[in-house]
Structure 1
Amino acid sequence: MREVLVSAYNWRLYFVAHDYLAGRATFADVDAAQTDSLAKLVSWPSFLAWIASGVAFLVWLWRARTNAELMSGAAAFRRSRTWAVSGWIAPVVNLWVPYQVVSDVWRASAPRRSVPVTLIKAWWALFVVANTVVKPIQWRMSSNLDSEQHVLSNADVSTLLTALYVVAGLLVVLIVRRVTAWQSRQPAQNAA
């Protein structure tokens, strides 16, 4: 949500700058677009929502990892259970350990053990590219908005970042739903 709002703000800034250079807007319009109080007001709630969703995902991942271990045994995992949370915050290893944890939970939870992890690979690739490549570029671009082309480039990269986050978010929702469904059915299968 936050990136969608940032992208919308960047496009608004571009259109106002474009109109200013074409003589259809005043300097006051440009100044108002740069100090948009709506963007600042929405920024805090969206940041809090981002934190809450991250915590909810980590709680789900911890529980899913625990359930998967009960279903398949500890030998099915490359990492101990504590990596389900610490893997996200440990520098450098956070580039691959969360992927390993999620893919191990996926495999251990699947009714068929030879389930492909293509969905997880796609999610993780989008997430890593967004955070390690596109986001740093967009941050650098947002500090240099001294021409219409720079403002346009910033809006373009911001839109790309938003698209990457949206698709990665949809994929992680699919992953969560599928693992949860597999784990919900597992006790009934064991009882039969």
Structure 2
Amino acid sequence: MQQSGDVAASADDEIQAYVAPADAAPAATELDRSANYTTATLVEMAGTTGISNVSSSYYSNNTACSVQWPFAVGVPITYGFGWRPGEFHTGADFTPGNGAHVQAVADGVVRVAQEGYQGYGVAVIIDHEIDGQHWASLYGHMQYGSLQVHAGEKVRVGQYIGRTGNTGFSYGAHTHVEIRQNGVTPIDPIPWLRAHNKC
């Protein structure tokens, strides 16, 4: 009797298969085997969402978690939270490349989705309830015409909300991301995202 499990491809064959036990129930529907499937790495797939600057030095995103990073893969972060010449920087600046898809960091409800929000330019603010607490995430400097959500809309973690741009008070394409405790007080988003992207 053959055991169920993965069957390794032979040197002459590229087919991979899973062998089910003989007494397994048949599938409810037939599988569509007419499509041509290919494999790709997560980084290669990120390219389909416009991410051109990839760096695992900053973070890697666990897509199984209820809180994720604003980009599907690790991208460079040019400025973090805190004082910099002339101002206090209330978030972190992610540089995935101009036009890269920005994703919601958690399930929530869109509070703001505007083409010109304060100095943030094209921006989205999403309210979240995480571990019984109210949090908000802000995404700024996105491209004009790229908003994929509207105020009052429920969004899911990882949902595409807009594209990285250079609007508002901005010097170069990036996405400014803030995490706001109680929906209003900015905290350092990097340790918060690291702590919550473990599941």
**Shorter-chain TM-score: which interval?**
under 0.3
**Larger helix percent:** 1
**RCO greater where, 1 or 2, for CA within 8 Å and sep 6 or more?**
1
Q: Using structure 1 for the length normalisation, give the TM-score.
A: 0.25
**Larger strand percent:** 2
Q: Using structure 2 for the length normalisation, give the TM-score.
A: 0.25
